[in-house]
Structure formats: C-alpha cells, structure tokens
Amino acid sequence: MPYTRPEVQNEIMEIIFQENREILSRIIAEKIITLVQHKPNCVLGLATGSSPLLVYQDLIQAYEKGRVSFRKTRTFNLDEYLGCSTEKDTYRYFMDHELFDHIDIDKANTHFPDPACPKEYDRQIALSPIDFQLLGIGADGHIGFNEPGTSFDSLTHIAVLTEKTRRDNSRFFASFAQVPEKAVTMGLYTIMQAQEIALIALGASKKTAISQMFQEENIACPASILKKHRNAVIYIDWEK
Ligand code: F6R
C-alpha cells in the first residue's frame, strides 16, 4: 500500500482551555460519539494512561444509554509495553478494563502494535486510516512512546523509555523495577496520518512540555510535530 504524507500546513493549532477536566473530557467524548454515530465503521486511535480515562467513562455511559454502538468501530492503540511481568500491566489489559469490556466493540477489531513486526502496524493503519486520534502528552513532550530525539519520520518501532517516563509511569506498577524499559509505539509519522487529532494535557506537570510544543518544531519536543497537522486540537487543564 503506498504511503503518502498528508499535505501539511503550518497552521496554529486550536487550543481549548478548561478548568474543569470533566467538561474537557466530555467535549472530546462527544466528538467521538458524533463521529461513531455518523460513521459506525470509523477508525479510532486510542491512548492509555490517566489523561483519557474520563473520556472513556463518557463513552461507556453513552453506550449504556443507547446513544452509540461501537459494534463496527475499529481501534488502533498507540503503544504497548514489552516484557511486562504480569498481564495486568499491559496496555491491552488497561484498554479491556477501562473501555472495551464495557462497550459492544468486537475485540477482533481492537489492535495493538506487535513488537515482532512493528512496521506491519503501519501497513494495517494505511489500509484502515485513523479518523480520530486521541493523545496524551508526557512531561518530556513524548506522544505515544516517541521520546525526545525520535525522528519526525518515524514509523511504528521499538522505543527505549527514558528514566523520566519510567518514573512517571511507575504509579501504574507495583514498583519502579517492574516498569518495562521498552515499548512498541506508533511513530510520529504514523500519528500524523490521522485525519483529526485531540491531545489532552492535564495537570501542572504538562506545562513545560506544552510551552516547548509551541516553540519551533524540534525533535527535542516530539509533540511539536503536531503544529504541522491541519486538524489537531489541544485540550488543556492546568489544575492539580
Ligand atoms: C499512552 C501514551 C503516552 C501517554 C503519556 C501521558 O498510550 O501513549 O504518550 O499519553 O505518557 O500519560 P498520562 O496520561 O498518564 O499522563
């Protein structure tokens, strides 16, 4: 499948500030719900971590109220750890637990990158382009597990996590030692193929990364590539 770079423009991204993360998450969830209602077989790019949790809760509620069905929807998660000591630490488990087990999605349509053949993920995504990509941002500006220094042209690949990222994510593990050192992640180029991108930045720890992002595009802040996307919106709540 030929791979074409979207026509990128240097536009200023839309930024939505909200001091209430429930409202912020509701805005994003409603966008996703509207997309799925109008295009039931749409493709969603999903993230793990704490940032999207309220969005997932809103999606579950909308499903329970009969407002939306995910029966035909397909998903591609951004990343997956390598070498987790228990299944509960995997992002597959996280997504099942936080979203997939509570909606009517067919799990055969929910995808995670395979560390044995990372590039296969790009081929699959090229065949089912992502309509809406949800992103969090790391305190060092990473998106997916594209750490500072990752090429803007990167495809899905194995990434070595920085100590900072491992420390930040250790809250999800029994101990720091159990946080994997590697992950397989969509590349920055892969992420940029999505039709629409929503990045959620919650909490004061994300301030530095966001301000770096608005400086010149530079691989020192991977999220700064989003400035080149024609339809990326940043949702910010600095509280806590
Ligand atoms: C998770 C992911 C990461 C997180 C980022 C922020 O799939 O790709 O980039 O979005 O590390 O994590 P939280 O939301 O826990 O602050």
> Which of the 8 DSSP states describes residue 98?
H
Greatest Cα pair distance, the chain, in angstroms, is: 45
What is the structure's pLDDT at 4? 38
Max avg pLDDT among 8-12, 132-136, 203-207, 212-216:
132-136
pLDDT at residue 206 tops 50: yes
DSSP assignment of 127-162? HS--SEEEE---TTS-BTTB-TT--TT--SEEEEPP
**CB 231, CB 196: distance < 8 Å:** yes
How confident is the model over 154-182, as a mean pLDDT?
97
Active-site residue among 140, 168, 229, 237? 140
Which pTM does this prediction carry? 0.94
- State whether the beta carbon of 141 lies less than 6 angstroms from ligand 1: no
58 among known catalytic residues: no
What is the structure's pLDDT at 2? 35
51 vs 47: CA distance, rounded Å: 8
| Ligand 1 atom 3 nearest Cα | 144
Q: How far is the CA of 230 from the centre of ligand 1 (A)?
A: 22
Minimum-distance ligand 1 atom for the alpha carbon of 49: 15
**Residue of 137, 161, 172 with the most ligand 1 atoms within 8 Å of its CB, for mutation:** 137
168 among known catalytic residues: no
Q: Do β-strands 110-111 and 196-202 pair in parallel, antiparallel, or remain unpaired?
A: unpaired
- Would you kindly state where each structural domain of the chain is located, as residue ranges? 14-204+228-237
Nearest to 27 by CA among 17, 37, 36: 17
Model confidence pLDDT, tens digit, residues 5-56? 334 444 567 888 888 999 999 999 999 999 999 999 999 999 999 999 999 9
- State whether the beta carbon of 212 lies less than 6 angstroms from ligand 1: no
Domain 14-204+228-237 indexed as CATH 3.40.50.1360: yes
pLDDT at residue 74 tops 60: yes
Q: How far is the CA of 200 from the centre of ligand 1 (A)?
A: 9
- State whether the beta carbon of 157 lies less than 6 angstroms from ligand 1: no
Among 7-16, 100-109, 157-166, the range scoring the smallest mean pLDDT is 7-16
157 among known catalytic residues: no
237 among known catalytic residues: no
Whether the CA torsion 171, 177, 178, 180 is positive or negative: it is positive
